Amino acid sequence: MPEALIFDIDGTLLDSVDLHAQAWQEAFRKFGHEIAFDEIRSQIGKGGDQLLPIFLSPDEIKKRGEELQKYRGDLFKEKYLPKVKPFPGVRELFQKAKANGQTVALASSAKGDELKDFERIAQIEDLVEVETSSADAERSKPHPDIFEAALDRLGKKIRPEQVIVIGDSPHDAEAAKRAGLRTVGVRCGGFPESDLREAGCIAIYDGPEDLLRQYENSPLAKSAQASAP
């Protein structure tokens, strides 16, 4: 029976995966690297510490990695953030969880200021009880650090088996599994369902609105009889 729900943000609550990929592609191009959009998109959900080594050599990262990440962050905030929209049903899903007495948390690879912007866009600032950002994790997803930090903030009264993670990418599910947590996947981030299942998702829904609609029959329900599609 889940006492707490930990939500990823990008691709889970917000329609932002393509925008992040576009910002990364533009940043890479600015620094002399032409990388295909689909290749970058498949890595969204990771923080820069895990994404950059996929495309750049250690020497390139050492020389200009920090500068590239800063450029991407500034670019995203100025050009792409105004285009970010929440998926349908996000606030209502959070309200449902709160009405059930479940603690609602966020665990994102975003930086702290980005996280606040995302909460505002999703209209959930007043509903979030626990949050962790890149500042709380030494390594980003698919490493478990961000979820371990969220568990720590949830407190010792809530055990890992009482927590469900909701995420859109295999990176979410892999990180959660390493932290001893189960993951419910959502398709709205655009990652293949087969990849989500292979990464360990115990159930998969179209998005927040679909999960809300099927809440009482989902792993999120506070019922031992809850079933998963």
Q: Over the stretch 147-162, which tens digit does the pLDDT of each residue have?
A: 999 999 999 889 999 9
The verdict on 128 and 139 lying in the same domain is yes
- Asked whether residue 135 carries a pLDDT value surpassing 90, the answer given is no
The verdict on 25 and 121 lying in the same domain is no
When divided into structural domains, the chain yields a total of 2
The verdict on 122 and 135 lying in the same domain is yes
The pLDDT assigned to 134 comes to 83
The pLDDT assigned to 109 comes to 80
The verdict on 98 and 163 lying in the same domain is yes
The verdict on 24 and 114 lying in the same domain is no
The pLDDT assigned to 226 comes to 41
Binning pLDDT at 50, 70 and 90, where does residue 114 land?
confident
Cα 170 → chain centroid: 10
The pLDDT assigned to 229 comes to 52
The verdict on 55 and 161 lying in the same domain is no
- Measured torsion, CA atoms of residues 115, 30, 137, 154, in degrees rounded to the nearest 10: 20
Q: Which neighbouring-strand residues pair with 6?
A: 105, 165
CA distances from 46 to 96, 111, 149, 198, 226 (A): 28, 12, 16, 18, 31
The verdict on 62 and 95 lying in the same domain is no
CA distance 196 to 76: 26
The pLDDT of 25-34, averaged and rounded, is 98
135 vs 187, more confident:
187
CA distance 194 to 110: 26
Domain holding 105, by residue range, is: 4-15+85-217
Looking up tokens 């533009």, which residue turns up? 26
The verdict on 119 and 200 lying in the same domain is yes
Query: Does residue 142 fall inside a structural domain?
Result: yes
The pLDDT assigned to 228 comes to 45
The verdict on 35 and 91 lying in the same domain is no
Query: Does residue 132 fall inside a structural domain?
Result: yes
- Asked whether residue 1 carries a pLDDT value surpassing 90, the answer given is no
- Asked whether residue 224 carries a pLDDT value surpassing 50, the answer given is no
The pLDDT assigned to 111 comes to 79
The verdict on 109 and 70 lying in the same domain is no
Among 31, 66, 83, the domain-final residue is 83
- Asked whether residue 212 carries a pLDDT value surpassing 90, the answer given is yes
Query: Does residue 65 fall inside a structural domain?
Result: yes
Among 35, 66, 83, the domain-final residue is 83
**212 in Cβ contact with 206 (< 8 Å):** no
**Encoded tokens for 214:** 């099927």
Percentage of residues in the chain having pLDDT higher than 70 = 97
The verdict on 67 and 90 lying in the same domain is no
Edge-to-edge strands of the sheet including 163-167? 130-132, 103-107, 4-7, 163-167, 182-186, 203-205
Nearest to 6, CA basis, from 199, 153, 120? 153
Q: pLDDT tens digits for 75-100?
A: 999 999 999 999 999 999 999 999 99
CATH classification of the domain holding 157: 3.40.50.1000
CA distance 27 to 57: 16
The pLDDT assigned to 156 comes to 84
Q: Which neighbouring-strand residues pair with 163?
A: 4
The pLDDT assigned to 225 comes to 44
The pLDDT assigned to 71 comes to 97
Q: What is the DSSP string of 40-93?
A: HHTTBTB-HHHHHHHHS-HHHHHHHHHHHHHHHHHHIIIIIGGG-EEPTTHHHH
- Asked whether residue 121 carries a pLDDT value surpassing 50, the answer given is yes
Query: Does residue 108 fall inside a structural domain?
Result: yes
The verdict on 48 and 98 lying in the same domain is no
